[in-house]
Structure 1
Amino acid sequence: MADTTNLSDPSDAEGATKAVDAPQRHRTEPIPGTLTEISGYPKKLKIYKLEASPYWWVRTFHNGKVYRRSTKTEVKRDATIFARSFYDQVISGRVMAPQREKDVVTFAKVAAAMMKSKKAQAARGDLTDMTYKIMDYRLKKTILPALGSREIASIHFEDMEELLNDLSHQNLTGSTINGYMKTAKSVFTYAYKCRDIPSVPHFPSVDADHQPRGYFTKQEYRRMCDRAEELIGSRFEYRKLMNDKGEEQLGQLFAEGDTKDGRLIRKTTITQELLDLIIFATNSYVRPTDIKNLQHKHVTVVREEHIYLRLNPPETKGHNEPFVTMEKAVEIYERLTAHNKKLGRPTGPEAYVFFPNYETRDYALKELERQFAVLMWDLNYGKGPNGEQRTIYSLRHTCFMFRLMYGEKIDHVTLARNGRTSPEMIDRHYASHLRGEDNIEMLQSRRPKKKAAAKKGAKGQ
């Protein structure tokens, strides 16, 4: 059984259980190994690549100052030609010298001033706490690493298009990308009001789609659980085959032993954790980030009139309030903890709930994502009926949909607060799936007549 789904292709990291102690490089710093000198020019002239941009950059020193600029090309040869021209312009004085740091109005400085103003608005009640937190999150996560050190007056349309391209490769929805771009634009608007820039640069347009989230029906959910249990211990291979021209194609999944063709990229073994993930996530509203970071100290088992887990994982998307699960999540949590203990894995307060044997938490989540991708391929569930992509995130969406479809008298505000989201998101991305037929009992219900109710009450006296 072969599939041409474009799965992620990072190489398997041996020793992923070891913690990485080296400090992370900033996205605007040169990537080691890419710094290249220009033949025939002084060694101080170099081109390099950085994580914050797809283009080559040029850097040189002159009169004790550093000059940098994007070459606006991904082709190394063209970047070399640009670097030579840039150097000649710097030496001849045709490129303005960088301002002293205290005179430079950077994007980060304007953003900090704007967020200070936004915080005051939130304190006055002119802005919701949630809006402030979302803006702060988006700035710190992506926008500041890409633009923070830049002089705001030097940022133009092509730079914003570069940011948009970067966001487009982060598996975000159109509406989320649009939110990031609006946050960036608000910084420029604030700078314009403060007379730091003469005008707000043009921004590339973003189609803010409102496509409903992909989720699984009750029948699909049951089939997923059954199949995940059946596949425990099975191994699969991700290989890259060659076409007739000898060119390597997109990766494909195969059951182990089905073929020896192509280049083996990695092997994936289905484990008990996949089944537990499916049931736990569909009964707990967790995001993939919560799964990655959830430790036992974040979990409280409550056994009172109702049985549930109270979860308080680290803040995600500006939300840090505890939330509760369905009763089924308690059973899975206790089963998973017993499973880890049996394997000799840590289960103390600081231990992680899923794959506590992996200290590198990104790798732990990647392992779950790979197993889930195999299951989607095996069941042909990778896309929903409307073409929406189904990932681990779809389990959270399924949790919301099951509450909306099968819960009694569920209101959007309560559901949103417990799911660490907003009522608007519930209405736009989850309730949009609902058909009248899904809640036919509610639509056909009738209030009791007042006279009948009064007569019934009199008889009971």
Structure 2
Amino acid sequence: MEKHTILGGKVHVYRRSNSKNWQCSTYLNGRNRRMTTKQESLSHAKDVAEDWYFELIGKSKRGELKNEKTFKQAAERFLIEYEAITLGERSPAWVRGHKDRLRLHLLPFFGELGLSEVTAGKVQEYRLHRIETSKTGQPPARKTLHNEIVTLRQTLKTAVRHGWLSHVPDLSAPYKTQGKLEHRPWFSPKEYKQLYEATRKRARELRQSNHRKHAEDLHDFVLFMANTGLRPDEAYNIEHRDVEIVEDEATGEVILEIEVRGKRGVGYCKSMPNAVRPYQRIVQRNSPQPMDKVFPTNHLRMFNTVLDQESLKFSRDGKRRTAYSLRHTYISLRLMEGADIYQVAKNCRTSVEMIEKHYAAHIKNVIDAAAVNVRRERPNKIKSAEDIAEELADV
């Protein structure tokens, strides 16, 4: 390391062997402070270091110099710990989401603040800032803002664990009302039939062998997903050794037993009988090895093309349909057929609460009207003494 001192030894200007830019450091108000000068020239770096030092002195006299950890430092520590501790337990996409939310939104707003300055009021200012600075002109989605507050809370919890912050402030949204329950986009029985007939027609009409194979794979993907209820990420993780064709003891029907690996870890799924034939066609087309993926490609572009052509891309509530909608279709159709909600939740590796919350439009089929429409028998009207006397006179 090459090192120089200026201002009577109060400021050090140094350059590490693996860097082309000079950095500067000083000790002020009980802590070391560092900054990069972003200069390759030593003389220019010294000028930047002097200006930086005198600016720090001015902030110190005005009481603006913080003697606590900043939000940026807590965020750096959080990312290091979170990625190391959750390795293999959280998907890389979720970890990357924390990084992106910090980099794009949280650090530009909170980064230079001391941790004690991240108060409930400051968080509310952040919410307003996100709404006012939206590039689309629309406020960020409720889920988007919720995920950003989750990342913020995790960062502050890291600071608390290290003793940099006494407690996490109240991050709940004021004036918050109960979120509107919205049904997840699915395909009604009529729409589902329209979809698989369109994918089947596309597979038959395509002449080029390569495109035809993709169309056939998409058709079988649609049928497989709507008859198993798998999440798309679970389906793309399945290998052929995870799938077994069996005869179900309870029903006597031939079904698929699938060992599922997804966001909930390892689980199991028993398919509907209609999933067997699509899977057999996949095996026949590809002649796979046990460790090969059942769906090595996702065909999402072709899937979206079919949705657009059939005017099925959006549900009647204006919700965009995706491959996930096939899972929602499976759950909805099972409930409409009167399946036990607990067994459906168990087979889909989710909770009864989630199904009741997001699929309430179809719960009507599992409500027993006879148990609800109970009428209590009314007691007979008590007869007065005059009525009794009249009845006796008639006799």
* Shorter-chain TM-score tier: 0.5 to 0.7
TM-score (norm 1): 0.52
Of residues 186, 193, 218 in structure 2, which corresponds to 1:222? 193
Deviation at 1:282, TM superposition (A): 0.4
Structure of larger gyration radius: 2
Cα distance in structure 2, aligned partners of 1:137 and 1:418:
25
Of residues 35, 52, 76 in structure 2, which corresponds to 1:92? 52
Q: Which residue pairs with 1:107 in the alignment?
A: 75
Deviation at 1:404, TM superposition (A): 0.7
Aligned residues: 297
User: 3-state SS of the aligned residue for 1:272?
Assistant: helix
Residue pair 2:74, 2:156 contacting (<8 A) in 1 also: no
Cα distance in structure 2, aligned partners of 1:274 and 1:68:
56
Cα distance in structure 2, aligned partners of 1:304 and 1:294:
21
Q: Which structure has the higher relative contact order (CA within 8 Å, separation 6+)?
A: 1
Cα distance in structure 1, aligned partners of 2:225 and 2:349:
14
Deviation at 1:189, TM superposition (A): 4.7
Letter in 2 for 1:325: S
Residue pair 1:294, 1:353 contacting (<8 A) in 2 also: yes
For residues 17-40 of structure 1, give each alpha carbon's deviation from its aligned partner in whole angstroms, at most 9, with x where no partner exists: xxxxxxxxxxxxxxxxxxxxxxxx
- Asked if 1:63 corresponds to 2:30, the answer is no
Residue pair 2:255, 2:273 contacting (<8 A) in 1 also: yes
User: 3-state SS of the aligned residue for 1:320?
Assistant: strand
> More helix per residue: 1 or 2?
2
Q: Which residue pairs with 2:283 in the alignment?
A: 337
Q: Which runs of 5+ in 2 are unaligned?
A: 1-14, 26-33, 39-46, 60-64, 373-395
Deviation at 1:224, TM superposition (A): 1.3
Residue pair 1:233, 1:269 contacting (<8 A) in 2 also: no
Of residues 95, 98, 107 in structure 2, which corresponds to 1:140? 95
Q: Which runs of 5+ in 1 are unaligned?
A: 1-43, 45-58, 70-86, 119-132, 236-266, 342-346, 357-363, 447-461
Residue pair 2:181, 2:358 contacting (<8 A) in 1 also: yes
- Asked if 1:352 corresponds to 2:293, the answer is yes
Q: Which residue pairs with 2:379 in the alignment?
A: none
Residue pair 1:285, 1:396 contacting (<8 A) in 2 also: yes
Cα distance in structure 1, aligned partners of 2:193 and 2:37:
57
Q: Which residue pairs with 1:321 in the alignment?
A: 267
Of residues 239, 242, 245 in structure 2, which corresponds to 1:295? 239
Deviation at 1:300, TM superposition (A): 2.2
Deviation at 1:67, TM superposition (A): 4.0
Residue pair 2:77, 2:158 contacting (<8 A) in 1 also: no
TM-score (norm 2): 0.59
Letter in 1 for 2:276: V
Q: Which residue pairs with 1:424 in the alignment?
A: 353
For residues 60-111 of structure 1, give each alpha carbon's deviation from its aligned partner in whole angstroms, at most 9, with x where no partner exists: 6423866499xxxxxxxxxxxxxxxxx95885234799x9x9xx95336457
For residues 29-63 of structure 1, give each alpha carbon's deviation from its aligned partner in whole angstroms, at most 9, with x where no partner exists: xxxxxxxxxxxxxxx9xxxxxxxxxxxxxx96423
User: 3-state SS of the aligned residue for 1:308?
Assistant: strand
Cα distance in structure 1, aligned partners of 2:50 and 2:167:
27
User: 3-state SS of the aligned residue for 1:416?
Assistant: helix
Cα gap change, 1:435/1:284 in structure 2, threshold over 3 Å: closer, same or farther?
closer
User: 3-state SS of the aligned residue for 1:310?
Assistant: strand
- Asked if 1:181 corresponds to 2:148, the answer is yes
Cα gap change, 1:340/1:294 in structure 2, threshold over 3 Å: closer, same or farther?
same
Cα distance in structure 1, aligned partners of 2:371 and 2:217:
42
Deviation at 1:274, TM superposition (A): 1.6
Letter in 2 for 1:309: L
Residue pair 1:139, 1:183 contacting (<8 A) in 2 also: no
Q: Which residue pairs with 2:385 in the alignment?
A: none
For residues 295-337 of structure 1, give each alpha carbon's deviation from its aligned partner in whole angstroms, at most 9, with x where no partner exists: 1122222224243222223322x34222221121122111111
Residue pair 1:164, 1:177 contacting (<8 A) in 2 also: no
Q: Kindly report the root-mean-square deviation, in angstroms, between the aligned alpha carbons of the 2 structures.
A: 4.9
Cα distance in structure 2, aligned partners of 1:231 and 1:68:
61
Letter in 2 for 1:308: I
Cα gap change, 1:296/1:406 in structure 2, threshold over 3 Å: closer, same or farther?
same
Cα gap change, 1:191/1:68 in structure 2, threshold over 3 Å: closer, same or farther?
farther
User: 3-state SS of the aligned residue for 1:353?
Assistant: coil
